Amino acid sequence: MSNLELGPDESPEVIAAALLTVRDRLVGFVERCDAGQWAARPLAGQGDERPTCVIADHVADAYRYIGEWIPQIVAGGSVEVDSRVVDALNAQHAERAQGVAREEVVQHLRSEGDDFAALVRSLSDQDLALGEGRVGRLAKIGLLHTGGHLQELEDSLGPPG
Amino acid sequence: MANPKRAHVDNREKVRRFALDLPDAYEDFPWGELVVKVNGKVFVFLGGDQADPPPGMSVKLRDSHDQALDAAGAAPTGYGLGRHGWISVPFGAGSPPAGALSDWVEESYRIVAPKRVVARLDAKRAATAPRRVSPGRVERDA
């Protein structure tokens, strides 16, 4: 996959559409990968022992928690997010998602991805600028995070199937 | 007989060149697809090289929205873009003429680009518009 960068002022509807485009590619990878790829630990060399199934499901989980932060910032609230918070959320998810079934991951990616895209689409250009641009950055992180993990899976495991 | 595949390629290239000739326009390849942007925003999607979906373009329209939807194979763009005025028009035999495609690209550009950049396009158009020099006769500025 090539450049996933969007312009600094890209419209919410285009960010949402891009996110769904990349989400569908990840769903395609999940649906077509073989049993070996599904059980593999593609990031073990980087100290991340999560298997493919957990990594893919984690993308859906991230849609959920990022999607909870955005409305809080739009409403004027403060959201404290740093690497410690994100690492804890991801560790909790990895425990919950051990052995998650392929069908569950696909359904999770679709439902959470659709909800996240709908949230982004509902924002205005002005909303994206709230929190000193943090809303826009979180919206784009949903896309970049998806594309980044898909790229890692493809680079480590090759094409699915 | 026209080669449908050739028509796809020709229309895509004509639209691409027209779009890139607009002020501050540049091409990019986010998520593996060709798009043309201005000021960091996409104003025309030109898709990838794959056969599915078929080659075509997606643009954001207001004034020509309904007219463009009447074109053969045209439809609101997927992934929620259609409800924001984006329309996808396939290329190939039976697609609108290149002039209409270019007009729609320019309309999308005018919607997406900042006003100061659109003003430069207006100035460019004014400088190259046919100038009426006498009744029934027009002359294009050099």
Burial per residue of A9-18, b for 16 or more beta-carbon CB atoms within 10 angstroms, e otherwise: ebbbbbbbbb
Inter-chain CB proximity B40 and A1 less than 8 Å: no
Chain B residue with minimum CA distance to A150: B31
Residue A158 neighbours by CB distance under 10 Å = 10
- Backbone phi, psi, residue B132, to 5°: -75, 120
Chain B residue with minimum CA distance to A5: B30
B42 touching A (Cβ < 8 Å): yes
Residues 6+ apart with CB under 8 A from B135: none
Inter-chain CB proximity A16 and B40 less than 8 Å: no
Domains of chain B in start order, with CATH, are 4-125 (3.90.1150.30)
The whole-number pLDDT of residue B137 equals: 54
Predicted confidence (pLDDT) per residue in B75-122, tens digit: 999 999 999 999 999 987 788 998 999 999 999 999 999 999 999 999
Residues 6+ apart with CB under 8 A from B80: A13, A16, A17, A20, A117, A118, A121
Residue A82 DSSP one-character state:
-
Delimit the domains of chain A by residue range: 12-157
CATH, range A12-157: 1.20.120.450
Inter-chain CB proximity A121 and B80 less than 8 Å: yes
pLDDT of residue B4 exceeding 60: no
The whole-number pLDDT of residue B47 equals: 85
Of A6, A20, A118, the CB nearest to B30: A6
pTM (2 d.p.): 0.83
pLDDT in tens, chain A (161 residues): 344 555 557 899 999 999 999 999 999 999 999 999 999 999 998 888 999 999 999 999 999 999 999 999 999 998 988 899 999 999 999 999 998 999 999 999 999 999 999 999 999 999 999 999 999 999 999 999 999 999 999 999 999 98
Q: Where is pLDDT greater, at A118 or B135? A: A118
Chain B residue with minimum CA distance to A14: B81
User: Does residue B97 sit in helix, strand or coil?
Assistant: coil
How far, in Å, CA of B30 to CA of A24, rounded?
Answer: 15
B65 exposure class (CB count in 10 Å sphere: 0-12, 13-18, 19+): middle
Question: Which residues in B lie closer than 8 A to residue A5 (C-beta atoms)?
Answer: 28, 30
Which residue is it, tokens 């073989």? Answer: A34
B45 exposure class (CB count in 10 Å sphere: 0-12, 13-18, 19+): buried
